[in-house]
Each structure stands twice: as C-alpha cells, then as structure tokens.
C-alpha cells in the first residue's frame, strides 16, 4: 500500500483563471478585469513616456519656455484625466456588480454549502444528499449556492465561474452563477480561516443535465449496508474507533460532537481532505492513521488501528458510494 508522506501536492485540478470565464457571471467579471488592465496599462505607459520626455528635456538643459503650457498639462493629466477615468471605472464596476448580484431565477438549482475549518459541507436540499468538498452542477442552468459558515468566516471562490462570496456564521449569502462548459473547476477558500486555510479546496463538477440528475439519483439510492463480512467488520471498527462521534454515515452514525464530512458517499468523491489527496486506498489509510501528519492542525485526531482493523475499515469506507 502506498501511504503518502507530508509533502503531497494537491490532488484536485489546477485552479482556472478569471480571464478564462466559463459562464455569464464570470464573463462580466473578466470584461471588467480586462477594462481595468487596458486602462491601467495605457495610463501607466503614457505616464512613463512623459517622465522620460521630461528627464531628457532636463538633461539637454533646454531653456525654459512657456510655463503656461506646462501648468495646463499638469492640470489636464493630474485632474481632468482622473476625473474621466475614475468615474468610468466606477460606473462600469457598478453595472457589473448589479448584473452579477441579480437574484437567481426560479429554475435555478439550489445547493447549500457550509464552511468549516477546513472543509466544505455540500447539501442538495431537493434530493436530501449530503456530501463534502465536491459540488456537481448542471451545465447551462443557473445555480444558487446558499452559503454559511459553522465557525469562522470563509470565502468561496471558483475563479472561472464567479467572484468571491463570504461564508459568515449566522448569516446566509448567496452566490448565483451558471457554467456553460462541462468540466471540473477548482475552488478555494479565499479568506484566511486558520492554519490549513491553504488546503481548503472545493471541486466544482459541471456536467450535462442528465448526468447531473443521474449522479444525484445514484447517491440517493446508495446504501451504507455492508455487503461482505469484511465490510461488516469495518463498520464495527468505524463505530468502535468513535469515528461516528464526528462523521455521519446514513443509518450507521449521526455524527455529533464535532462536525466532520458526511461519509455516506465517501467513495463517490475523487478527492479527500478538501481537495488535498486523491481518494485512493493508500491515501485513505494514511489519512485515517495520521491526519495531523498530512494536514497539521486539522480537526481530526490520529488513530491507532492494527492491520486487520484498518483493512476492514478501508473495505467498508470504499463501499460507501
């Protein structure tokens, strides 16, 4: 078995760019970004040009000519140009702001996301499915994420899809967007939230409507009942090792003391530990034995299991589709 060491690269895909939008909200933001980049570059280039001209002029010790022209130039460049450029940028950003914060239309898919140190809970209220760190959305349909936090302030950002929206305890913020290109996009926590803030990734999978429905149906129908005696032994290990005090598995444990990712559909996820590790047997084993070694400061204690217990537990966890 391949147990990972501490210096593991993230398993989730690389983050996309704001300048490479895949939906209407992100297109608006990309348009504004380009506008500011172009305006800023032109102004900067012109200013540098004037500076160079001024220095050359002084180097030549050219006699001072008419200072009226110089004063008019300073007033124009220092007052009139900013008075045009700044309101233009302000107006454009207001227009974009209004555009991207419009309420979601009624046919939008509603999904709830709760931020925790250092992972995301994902709930699909219509189907009752609860999972973690991975959200599936249908392509070409508006999506509304209802965002809140269970502890500190987090912020969700999937650059090619939408701007950042904060997850604030005791408050619900919404993020509305649409993804027009199927694909897997990486999101991040964009608000420093503690020691493992940088390893709080979020995977967004945009897929055709039928595949999305199929995915949810599969999760809904999946059962946590063990099929083999090894899996049944694994379920006992899960209960004996107190995993159920934090983790919920449907029909097995309710979670409780400290909330942790719902494991009912663990095997359906591509990554574990908020995008940090690929969901493989070796990584699961390494994680369960020593989560602190992999993600120091994480809110899960290490576990002391012997080989047989670990094998049974892994067999059970891997059956949780």
Interaction site with Cu ion (CB under 5 A)? 154, 189, 193, 200
Across the beta sheet with 134-138, what order do the strands follow?
134-138, 201-207, 183-189, 154-157, 165-167
DSSP strands (E only) in 63-142: 109-116, 119-124, 129-132, 134-138
Query: Does 249 help bind ligand HEC (rule: CB under 6 A)?
Result: no
Near ligand HEC by CB under 6 A: residue from 260, 312, 315, 320: 260
Instruction: Supply the minimum distance, in Å, between the C-beta of residue 248 and Cu ion.
Output: 21
**Interface mask toward ligand HEC for 109-148; x: CB under 6 A:** ---------xx------------xx---------------
Which residues, including other chains, have CB under 8 Å from residue 104's CB and lie 6 or more apart?
142, 143, 144, 174, 176
Task: Please state the closest distance from residue 214 (CB atom) to ligand HEC, in A.
Answer: 21
| Residue 303 within binding range of ligand HEC, rule CB under 6 A | yes
Residue number, 207 or 265, with CB nearest to ligand HEC? 265
Phi–psi pair at 211, nearest 5 degrees: -65, -40
Confirm if 145 and 173 have CB atoms less than 8 A apart: no
Specify burial of residue 119 (Cβ count, 10 A radius: 0-12, 13-18, 19+). buried
Backbone angles phi, psi at 119, to 5 degrees: -155, 170
Give bridge partners of residue 157 from the DSSP assignment: 188
Residue 268 burial class via C-beta count within 10 angstroms: exposed 0-12, middle 13-18, buried 19 and up:
middle
Shortest approach of Cu ion to residue 205 CB, angstroms?
Answer: 20
219 binds ligand HEC, rule: CB under 6 A: no
Is residue 126 a contact partner of residue 138, using CB atoms and an 8 Å limit?
A: no
- Pick what 245 binds: ligand HEC, Cu ion, none; C-beta below 5 to 8 Å, kind-dependent: ligand HEC
Token couple for 148: 């809140």
> Does residue 245 belong to the site contacting ligand HEC (CB under 6 A)?
yes
Residue 274 engages ligand HEC in binding (rule: CB under 6 A): yes
87 binds, among Cu ion, ligand HEC, none (CB under 5 to 8 A by kind): none
154 binds, among ligand HEC, Cu ion, none (CB under 5 to 8 A by kind): Cu ion
* Nearest distance from C-beta of residue 297 to Cu ion, angstroms: 12
| Closest distance to Cu ion from the beta carbon of 95 (Å) | 30
Binding of ligand HEC by 195 (CB under 6 A): no
Check residue 301 for interaction with ligand HEC (CB under 6 A): yes
Taking CB under 6 A as the criterion, the residue among 141, 146, 197, 269 binding ligand HEC is 269
Instruction: Give which of 137, 108, 106, 269 is closest to 209, Cα–Cα.
Output: 137
Q: What is the DSSP string of 208-276?
A: -HHHHHHHHHHHHH------SHHHHHHHHHHHHTTGGGT-EETTTEE--SS-----TTGGG-SEETTTT
| Binding partner of 175, given ligand HEC, Cu ion, none, CB within 5-8 angstroms per partner class | none
Q: Residue 299, interface with ligand HEC (CB under 6 A)?
A: yes
**What does the binding site for ligand HEC look like in residue numbers (CB under 6 A)?**
118-119, 132-133, 196, 238, 241-243, 245-247, 258, 260-261, 266, 269, 272-274, 284, 287-288, 295, 298-301, 303, 313
């Amino acid at each position: 078995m391949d147990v990972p060491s501490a210096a593991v690269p993230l398993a989730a895909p690389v983050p996309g760019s704001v300048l490479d939008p895949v939906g209407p909200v992100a297109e608006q933001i990309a348009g504004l970004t380009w506008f500011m980049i172009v305006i800023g570059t032109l102004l900067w280039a012109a200013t540098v040009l004037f500076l160079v001209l001024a220095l050359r002029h002084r180097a030549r010790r050219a006699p001072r000519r008419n200072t009226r022209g110089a004063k008019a130039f300073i007033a124009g460049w220092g007052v009139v140009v900013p008075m045009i450029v700044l309101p233009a940028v302000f107006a454009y950003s207001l227009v974009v702001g209004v555009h991207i914060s419009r309420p979601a239309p009624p046919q939008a898919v509603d999904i709830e996301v709760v931020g925790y140190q250092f992972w995301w809970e994902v709930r699909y209220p219509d189907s009752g499915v609860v999972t973690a760190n991975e959200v599936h959305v249908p392509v070409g349909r508006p999506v509304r994420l209802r965002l809140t936090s269970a502890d500190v302030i987090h912020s969700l950002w999937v650059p090619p899809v939408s701007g950042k929206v904060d997850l604030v305890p005791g408050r619900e913020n919404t993020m509305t967007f649409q993804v027009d290109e199927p694909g897997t996009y990486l999101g991040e926590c964009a608000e420093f939230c503690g020691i493992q803030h940088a390893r709080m990734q979020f995977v967004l999978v945009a897929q055709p409507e039928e595949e999305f429905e199929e995915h949810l149906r599969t999760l809904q129908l999946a059962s946590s009942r063990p099929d083999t005696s090894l899996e049944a032994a694994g379920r006992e290990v899960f209960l004996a090792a107190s995993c159920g005090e934090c983790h919920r598995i449907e029909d097995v444990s309710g979670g409780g003391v400290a909330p942790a990712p719902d494991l009912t559909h663990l095997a359906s996820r591509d990554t574990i530990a908020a995008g940090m590790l690929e969901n493989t047997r070796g990584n699961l084993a390494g994680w369960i034995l020593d989560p602190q070694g992999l993600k120091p400061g994480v809110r899960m204690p290490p576990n002391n299991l012997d080989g047989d217990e670990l094998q049974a537990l892994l067999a059970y966890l891997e059956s949780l589709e």
